[in-house]
Chain A
Amino acid sequence: MIELHLEARSGLPPYQQIVRQVQRALRLGVLQVGDQLPTVKEVVERLAINPNTVLKAYKELEHSGLVSPRPGIGTFVTATLSDGSFASHGPLRQDLLRWLAKARRAGLDDESIEALFQDSFRASADQGVA
């Protein structure tokens, strides 16, 4: 069982924070297939948040095929995120390091690099949606 929490200053809506925390736990192998998520009532009681927030997060996880509810029992992990993409992490990291070196040679400081990355990331995400 994992402990969920909320960050007041994360800027993300609470339901997305819960989704990300579960995804992260799945990616890191903290949660595995068959594990149970805390019940809505448990999360609500601990965090003092609206039950709909938790329900919405669990629905979204269900939609992406990661968990499934068993009525009257709880919500269980049905898939994991820890396999598959791991193999490609290394080469991607190499590419990114090479790009970072290039950006520094071009005279960009850390903040400019971050701004450029965020901007490009958003642009590519927008294209993906359109």
Chain B
Amino acid sequence: MTSAIDTQGLTKRYGRRSALSGCTLSIPAGKVVGLVGPNGAGKTTLLHLAVGLLEPSAGRIEVLGHRPAESSEQLARVGFVAQNTPLYASMTVGDHLRLGGWVNPTWDEDLALERVEHLGLDVSQKAGTLSGGQRAQLALTLAVAKRPELLVLDEPVASLDPLARREFLQSLMSIVAEHGVSVILSSHLVSDLERVCDYLVVLVASRVLVAGEIEELLASHHRLTGPRRDGLHLPPDWEIIEETVTERQCALLVRHESPVHDPAWTVEQLDLEDLVLAYMGREATDGHKQGRTLVGAHS
């Protein structure tokens, strides 16, 4: 099966500053991918490279097996909703749909109208007067009605209230269920991502720190607590993501392949938020100095 997104050493520099460095990813098609990381980590840069709004400085990226924006066919295969869901404030909902029809060769008029009706939007209303939730839903409708194979959404729910956010994600998931479209979306709301995504990419300070199926990530990361012991030998396949040692106790957050046999450890499950925070914290303390990434394990 073709990957949704495939990158090799993908790098984007602005002068001396790297917005994205050596990003290597292989995301299978059919996934809903969550992209998390602090502000300025390079999430938008990665998404803009994927839709062809930016050209890489080095490395390569393929989206659905092709270079982004290499042809009009390729453009039609990817739907994109930029941050803050830009619409034309003085144009009506209906105008937006007509515009969508003119510029997209694969436009699905019925789908667009059906969604607008389902959402209870008035086609004669100006986009500038819509609520945040309605704007986001209209932008999603425009992206979906071109019947893309991949939807790229940059922080689609960041500015929405909890109810509008839930409604947006409900719409998105029912679109995925109905049309089998792949999705990549960035967000700070890890609890949302845990519900809707099955694949996670953690991007911090322009680097991919970890990427993989969420279920596998949760199964291979645990918090271990035990008495502090000198000369502690850990299995070679264990990777310490976070370490807290007090006089008596030692707490580790590890990534491991082999099961934990040593009965001295109390093993705790993590939720996705713990996992994401641990990776972000790790980068803040040692990542810059060592320039380490943990991507190898998934590929």
Which A residues fall within an 8 A CB radius of B?
A: 6, 8, 11, 13-14, 40-41, 44-53
Contact = CB atoms under 8 A, between A and B. Distances in A.
Give the dominant DSSP class at A's interface: helix
A49 B173 contact: yes
Interface string B55-75: 000000000000000000000
Interface string B180-223: 00000000000100111110000000000000000100100000
B215 A13 contact: yes
B140 interface: no
15 contacts: A13-B215, A14-B194, A40-B177, A44-B170, A44-B173, A44-B174, A44-B177, A47-B195, A48-B166, A50-B173, A50-B195, A50-B196, A50-B198, A51-B176, A52-B32
B178 interface: yes
Contact of B196 (A8, A40, A48): A48
B195 A51 contact: no
A12 B235 CA distance: 27
B293 interface: no
A53 B269 contact: no
A46 B198 contact: no
Contacts of A46: 170
Nearest to A51: B177
A11 B173 contact: no
B174 to A, nearest CB: 5
B16 to A, nearest CB: 40
Interface of B: 32, 166, 169-170, 172-174, 176-178, 191, 194-198, 215, 218, 269, 271
B173 A45 contact: yes
B263 to A, nearest CB: 10
Given A46-B170, A50-B173, A41 B195 contact: no
Nearest to B268: A11
Nearest to A15: B215
Please provide the 5 A-B residue pairs with the shortest distance between their CB atoms, ordered closest to farther: A51-B177, A48-B169, A48-B170, A44-B173, A45-B174
B176 A50 contact: yes
A49 B174 CA distance: 9
B218 A13 contact: yes
Contacts of B194: 14
A53 B178 CA distance: 15
**A8, A13, A47, A48 — which one has the most chain B CB atoms within 10 A of its CB?**
A48
Contacts of B169: 48
A46 B198 CA distance: 18
Nearest to B169: A48
B133 to A, nearest CB: 14
Nearest to B170: A48
Contacts of B176: 44, 50-51
Nearest to B30: A52
B193 to A, nearest CB: 10
